[in-house]
Structure 1
Amino acid sequence: MAIPGNFLSETTSTIDPNTSGWTPKLNCTLSKGVGGRVGDGCLVVKSVAAGEMQARTVSSYPVTAGTVYQVFSDAAGASVPERIGIRWLNAAGTEISITWSLYTMAASSGWHRVGVAGAAPSGATQAQVLLSSSPLAGLVNQYWENVYLGLPIRTTGNLFGFGTESSEIDASGWTPLANATISRQVPVISWAVDNWTAGGHTIAMTAVAAGNASILAVNGPSVTPGVEYLAYAYLQPPVLTANAWIELLYFDGNGNQIASYRSVLAAPGTGMYRQRVSAKAPDNAASCSVTAGLDGASAGQILRIETVVVTAAPQLQAGTVVPYADGSMEQGVGQWTVASGVATLARSTPWGAQASDGSYSLTVSSSTATASVVRSGKFPVSDAPGNNFRAQVTSHVTAGTWSSVNVKIRWYDAANVDLGASTGVAWSLPGSGWYSMPADGVAPAGATQASIELTTTATAGSSVLQVDAASLWPVLPLTAVTGFDADGYVRLTLRELPFGFLLRVQREGPDGLRTLVRGPSGLIDGDPTVSDLLIIEDHEAPFGVSLRYHIEILNADGSGASTRSSAQIMLTLADFNEAWLKDPGNPQRNMRVVVQQAPDWDLPIVQTKHKVRNRQNAVVLSDSRGGLEGDLAVWTRSDEERKALRLLLGSGNTLLWQVAPGMGEDDMYVNAGQVGLDRVGRLAQEPWRTWSLPLTQADMPVTTGVNGAAGRTWQDVVAVYATCADLLAVYATCEDLLLDRRTG
């Protein structure tokens, strides 16, 4: 999979099919090896003699002075540690300086990540990637693959900027709180090949003396009171018994700490483990930060920290009222209690041993073969009376036996008076796998709060049940459609999609014919479900035709699992003098234009005519007849429309032309040739223009995906750029900002 935003070509990055993107710089020869991570190829850098050897990219890549760039690679070599660098060049190709990473802390024959980031120095216009190691003899091999050079890759939605999330630049995003010093290290860690936000440098907190030690992220981003936030980071404890933790802190407008929430790592070893902590921002919260540390540390012990993120807490189910801390049990049992019975509650241990979501689950233990009632906290539910809600948990058995788990919703009024529970559903647990167990209930009059209630019945002593991914949400239609005539599209909403399945979405016309609908990766034909909620904007839906959507949920092997259909819907184009011109991959460019004259179509054909001597009729050899060709004349009525049409036509992409029903034309995909643009009148200030668009009928683009912000929000912009003036130097247009197309 190509690394997004990589300046390097696929050949240079993956060393497949050859090493043409690389050249020796010092004391080495290059060859193509096998056993790579992205494809089979990898770059083998072999020393000629003892001493440092360096390889560099053949090409130099344009950079802008003052802009931060990042480089990383996966490396392997059993003999010596390695480092990676960015070589800065001026316009004449002369080296200005090199930004080097630290050396890896040890040599390793397994693939591990190295990386560094830094600002391009004054005068730099180009950059190269440098790979370096210093063997003690000749003919020593070092292996490289999965190489990246480009703008920093950060976690979308992170309130922290790149400098705090990653320590690839320096350690300035952190300060000691107690009994600690801060440095950077590059431990030998094998990250997933597509985990591009992790690896390279880590923050190393060293305990100065025996006792508690902690450090603080100094860049406190703004938060919104009442919003639940999730903080997480990878923690590497010094020993298995270390008490390592992460805290989410909230501060008021004066910078005073007003709340803190801690999550302790139950480490299964001394590797890197992602630890999460979440909490709702208090009413007077203005900013937040993260601390990490060791309790009861020995002098000299080191806690390493990697990929620090604070973001809006995810919802385990769209619309759930259960906070993440109570739904995923990442920092403890939350507000869950035992209402009756002998059961006891605890967070599962160690990290990663029992979890459906995240790394932990709720452990329900029963010492006897009896029933116990386990209940979540009370959570506000708006507009509840008379409406249907659904509670759901995911559970499995780890010890003993359980006859059933009865899932209910218990209701409360504003004064916390118990209004009773729904009938519930009793679920049996046939094996040790994870099972999702939903139950519906209609809220009674006066209900303003609700909790999830589980009646767990053990049939043997010393039985243990794990519960995770707890959610409670108002039940809405699984499939909904809404038409937006003025904007020319249909919005399709799909709810409660199952994870781990594939999805196919088709538009069905009145004739029963189905056409695949377009998504971010192209036509949605076997795309994996990554969320229980999916909203699709279908900008290619026809006008004046009753249509519906057919949704297929597929198993991993492509076989059918279930299907859905939407209600019927029709888009309307009110003014038959107008037509739509749309770019399927860039719907933000779509626009209506006034039709001056519809095309007079030609049906071209390529023929060769041969006159045979002494025969009356020629012999004609014909190819198949081509699609329609003709000139569409349209008007734009303002400078804004003129600029919009130029933007739409500027890419040269295949377009969709749509007209009102009854105009004697079918919707079709077209390519526009050389365009004529004239004023309607002779006055310079006349805003109307007449356009002549030579159209050639085209096939529907299959692989073109719908461009979008890909989850980015204004918070991602604020985390990187301090002022609007900073944006002007990076994004040429508002569309470039939307799509994160940076110029430097």
Structure 2
Amino acid sequence: MPIPGNFLSATTESIDPNTSGWNPKMNCGPLVKGVGGRNGDGCLVTKSLLAGEVQARTVSSYPVTPGVVYQVFADTAGAVPERIGIRWLNSAGTEIGITWSLTTAAASSSWHRVGVAGAAPVGTATAQVLLSSTETAGSVSHYWENVYLGLPLRTTGNLLGFGTESTEIDASGWAAEVNATISRQAPVVSWAVDNYLAGGQALAISAVAAGNAAAVTVDRPGVTPGVEYAAHAYLQPPVSTAQAWIELRYYDSGGSQIAAQRSTLAAPGTGMYRQTASLVAPPTAATCSAAAGLVGASAGQVLRLETVVISVAPVLQSGTVVPYADGSIEQGIAGWAVSSGAATLARSTPWGAVALDGSYSLAVTSATATASVIRSERFPTPGGAGLNWRAQIAARPTGGTWASVNIKIRWYDAANVDLGTSSGTTWTVPGAVGWYVMPTDAAAPAGATQVAIELTVTASAINSTLHIDKALLWRVLPQTAVTSDADGGYITLTLRELPADQRISLYRETPDGIRALVRGPAGLVDRQLITSDLMVIEDHEAPMDMSVRYRIQFYDAAGTYASSRSSELVQVTLADAQEAWLKDPGNPQRNLRVMVEKAPDWTRPIEQSAYVVKGRRNKVVLSGRRQGLEGDLSIWTRSDSERLALHLLLDSGNVLLWQAVPGMGITDMYVSVGQITEARTGGTAQEPWRAWTLPLVEADMPVTTGVNGAAGRTWQDIVAEFTTWADVLAVYATTEDLFLDRRTG
């Protein structure tokens, strides 16, 4: 799959099917397509002519804007260290300069990442990618693939800017705090081929002397009190026994630190391991930062960081009131405690050994074959008495044997008075090792405002261990809900508690029994992989003034039908029969309701050839298939804003959907719009009404078009990336471009 936002063509990026995107530049023989790549099978082979530096470059030069930061990276393998660069050229094609990455710290024959980012110098018009390795002899091969050149790729939702997250530009986003110096290094790390957020350069925190060492981000992004945030990064400890940590810190409006949460890595080795620290922002919190360091470091030891992120904490289940720290056990056992019995609690170790979510789980160990009661912290349960709540855990037996797990909900009032437990559900623990989901439901009693998850775990052998992860508690809402929006002309479909790792197809069913696939961000939702337990779809192609229902079908990983759901009937209305909708299926933000002057008088063209046969009265006519409807739709716009909106809708030339109320003698129709006429309606020069003639040609429904959107981006991403509105205006031409992240240059 092509790297999102790559300026390079798919062939240049993946070296498939050939090397046509690349040229030798220095001390390099003819380029050869190798095999064994991961972004497609192909890879670029550069071979030295003599001992010394070997360079290859892209054939094309790509337009860039001076002052804008661009990023380049590639995966590489060879017998010597290597580097990658961005070659800046002026409008005449003359080289202005090169932004080089650091040379990798060592050579590796395994695929590993190199990368760098930098601002285009003044006078730059285009840029090329440079690949460089310094070989020790002639006829030595080096291998490259998965090459990217484009705007910086950063984690959506990260409160930190690109420079702090990746250190691909420099280390200015960090400051040494205790017994440390900071720098950048280029370690050899084999990242997944599609981990586009990982760069080639890492932040290095070096201990000056023996003792604790730490560094902290210079950025202090704003936070919202009461929201749980998480800081995570890939940590590479100097030795597996080192105590490496990451910390999330909060500050008040005066800049004083008021809270912090540290999460220590239980490293299984000296690779890169993702570690997370999460904490709810206190009532007086205004800003935050991330810090990292070593406890008891030896002089000269180095902790490396990659992909540093502060964001809203992950949501394990839509609507869960269990904080991420208590639900995923990433930084310790959080609020879990033994209420009675012989069991002991600990975070699993080492990193990645036993986990369903993240890298750790809650390890419950019983020295005796008895029952123990463990309980979570109390969590708020808004909504009042009678509402149904569901508690759920995932359990995995890993040592000894377990008879059962009983899961209950314990209720408390606002004064922390214990109101008792639900009846609970007892689950038998299978003997086979694996993760087992265990839920229970209960209605909130009168006065309940807080709740805890309570587990009675019964071991049937001494020294038994049970791991628990992904603890959840959420209010049970309808699994399938529909609402209509007459002003927007669409229906919102909300799907909850979707089965993980299955596939989904979504149909709209009209009263005549006809089903049509519904459009989502990736196109028509037809056996698409489920990536979240919650899916919200706005169906902008639902017919007007007609009751419809939605049919949801699920398929397992093998593609076999598994189950289905149906929604209630719902209808979106169009109150004025003289109005109609013109919609862009892929860009619903452009949809426009217009007043119809006159519906089309339809024609249906046909290709025919007529032949006169001598001696016969009638011609012989050879016909093709009669084509779809064609005609002129006459409409009015009633204001300047409507006029401009219609121009925006028509500018793209996309296939549109025309929808009118039943009774006009037409059905919903996909159309291509030809040359338009915009005429004045008379009156004064200031008259805002316009009369439009839109030549329509019936078209097929766009099948591959997905619904464009912000893709998870929020205003926080804009704040993290840009300092001023002037910076934003230099990158985005329109508000829609900002919404869709379509950048100039």
Q: TM-score, normalised by structure 1?
A: 0.99
CA shift, 1:613, in A, is 2.2
CA shift, 1:415, in A, is 1.1
Is 2:502 aligned against 1:513?
no
Measured in 2, the distance between the counterparts of 1:662 and 1:455 equals 64
In the alignment, residue 444 of structure 1 is paired with which amino acid? P
Alignment of 1:595-744 (within 5 A): 595-681=596-682, 683-744=684-745
Contact 1:45 1:142 in 2 (8 A): yes
CA shift, 1:604, in A, is 1.0
CA shift digits 1:139-172 (9 cap, x unpaired): 1111111111000000000000001001100011
SS at structure 1 position matched to 2:731: coil
1:363 corresponds in structure 2 to 363
2:273 corresponds in structure 1 to 273
SS at structure 2 position matched to 1:511: coil
Measured in 1, the distance between the counterparts of 2:623 and 2:17 equals 41
SS at structure 1 position matched to 2:13: helix
Contact 2:180 2:207 in 1 (8 A): yes
SS at structure 2 position matched to 1:110: coil
Measured in 1, the distance between the counterparts of 2:398 and 2:8 equals 48
1:118 corresponds in structure 2 to 118
CA shift digits 1:292-325 (9 cap, x unpaired): 1111111111111000000001211111111100
Measured in 1, the distance between the counterparts of 2:429 and 2:15 equals 50
2:46 corresponds in structure 1 to 45
Measured in 2, the distance between the counterparts of 1:395 and 1:601 equals 65
Alignment of 1:220-619 (within 5 A): 220-430=220-430, 431-619=432-620
In the alignment, residue 52 of structure 1 is paired with which amino acid? E
CA shift, 1:199, in A, is 2.6
CA shift, 1:254, in A, is 1.2
Contact 1:669 1:699 in 2 (8 A): yes
In the alignment, residue 619 of structure 2 is paired with which amino acid? A
Is 2:195 aligned against 1:195?
yes
Measured in 2, the distance between the counterparts of 1:739 and 1:429 equals 48
In the alignment, residue 503 of structure 2 is paired with which amino acid? L
Q: TM-score, normalised by structure 2?
A: 0.99
Aligned residues between the structures: 743
CA shift, 1:682, in A, is 5.6
In the alignment, residue 698 of structure 2 is paired with which amino acid? Q
CA shift, 1:614, in A, is 2.2
1:70 corresponds in structure 2 to 71
Contact 2:500 2:532 in 1 (8 A): yes
CA shift, 1:91, in A, is 0.9
Measured in 1, the distance between the counterparts of 2:82 and 2:453 equals 53
In the alignment, residue 557 of structure 1 is paired with which amino acid? A
1:91 corresponds in structure 2 to 91
Alignment of 1:198-213 (within 5 A): 198-213=198-213
SS at structure 2 position matched to 1:292: strand
Is 2:142 aligned against 1:138?
no
Measured in 1, the distance between the counterparts of 2:613 and 2:186 equals 81
SS at structure 1 position matched to 2:727: helix
Contact 1:393 1:471 in 2 (8 A): yes
Measured in 2, the distance between the counterparts of 1:93 and 1:418 equals 76
Contact 2:28 2:48 in 1 (8 A): yes
Contact 1:180 1:213 in 2 (8 A): yes
Measured in 2, the distance between the counterparts of 1:703 and 1:518 equals 9
In the alignment, residue 134 of structure 1 is paired with which amino acid? T
Contact 1:73 1:146 in 2 (8 A): yes
SS at structure 1 position matched to 2:644: helix
CA shift, 1:683, in A, is 3.3
CA shift, 1:684, in A, is 2.6
CA shift, 1:384, in A, is 3.0
In the alignment, residue 580 of structure 1 is paired with which amino acid? W
In the alignment, residue 400 of structure 2 is paired with which amino acid? G
Contact 1:410 1:421 in 2 (8 A): yes
Measured in 2, the distance between the counterparts of 1:729 and 1:35 equals 41
Measured in 1, the distance between the counterparts of 2:685 and 2:677 equals 18
SS at structure 2 position matched to 1:728: helix
Measured in 1, the distance between the counterparts of 2:233 and 2:144 equals 27
CA shift, 1:397, in A, is 0.3
Measured in 2, the distance between the counterparts of 1:110 and 1:682 equals 75
Contact 1:326 1:334 in 2 (8 A): yes
Measured in 1, the distance between the counterparts of 2:411 and 2:605 equals 71
Measured in 2, the distance between the counterparts of 1:274 and 1:205 equals 17
SS at structure 1 position matched to 2:657: strand
CA shift, 1:583, in A, is 0.3
Contact 2:229 2:278 in 1 (8 A): yes
Contact 2:116 2:199 in 1 (8 A): no
SS at structure 1 position matched to 2:527: strand
CA shift digits 1:432-468 (9 cap, x unpaired): 1111111001111110100001111111111100100
CA shift digits 1:647-696 (9 cap, x unpaired): 10110101000001111111010101111111111633221111111111
Measured in 2, the distance between the counterparts of 1:540 and 1:395 equals 43
SS at structure 2 position matched to 1:11: helix
In the alignment, residue 712 of structure 2 is paired with which amino acid? G
In the alignment, residue 499 of structure 2 is paired with which amino acid? P
Measured in 2, the distance between the counterparts of 1:577 and 1:336 equals 63
1:23 corresponds in structure 2 to 23
CA shift digits 1:308-350 (9 cap, x unpaired): 0000012111111111000000000000011111110000000
1:215 corresponds in structure 2 to 215
CA shift digits 1:214-271 (9 cap, x unpaired): 1111111111111100100000011111111111111111111111110000001110
In the alignment, residue 200 of structure 1 is paired with which amino acid? G
Measured in 1, the distance between the counterparts of 2:623 and 2:162 equals 61
In the alignment, residue 549 of structure 2 is paired with which amino acid? R
SS at structure 2 position matched to 1:645: helix
In the alignment, residue 32 of structure 2 is paired with which amino acid? S
Contact 2:244 2:265 in 1 (8 A): yes
SS at structure 1 position matched to 2:416: coil
2:170 corresponds in structure 1 to 170
CA shift digits 1:68-92 (9 cap, x unpaired): 0000001111x21110000001111
SS at structure 2 position matched to 1:525: coil
1:179 corresponds in structure 2 to 179
Q: Which moved more, 1:734-743 or 1:683-692?
A: 683-692
1:82 corresponds in structure 2 to 82
Contact 1:189 1:199 in 2 (8 A): no
Q: Which moved more, 1:312-321 or 1:585-594?
A: 312-321
In the alignment, residue 122 of structure 1 is paired with which amino acid? V
SS at structure 1 position matched to 2:52: coil
Measured in 1, the distance between the counterparts of 2:593 and 2:459 equals 65
CA shift, 1:429, in A, is 2.0
Structural RMSD (CA): 0.8
CA shift digits 1:597-645 (9 cap, x unpaired): 1001111111111222222222221111111111111111111111100
Measured in 2, the distance between the counterparts of 1:298 and 1:524 equals 55
Identity across the alignment (%): 68
SS at structure 1 position matched to 2:110: strand
Measured in 2, the distance between the counterparts of 1:384 and 1:143 equals 63
In the alignment, residue 72 of structure 1 is paired with which amino acid? F
In the alignment, residue 594 of structure 2 is paired with which amino acid? V
Measured in 2, the distance between the counterparts of 1:680 and 1:56 equals 59
SS at structure 2 position matched to 1:643: helix
Q: Which moved more, 1:583-592 or 1:179-188?
A: 179-188
SS at structure 2 position matched to 1:710: coil
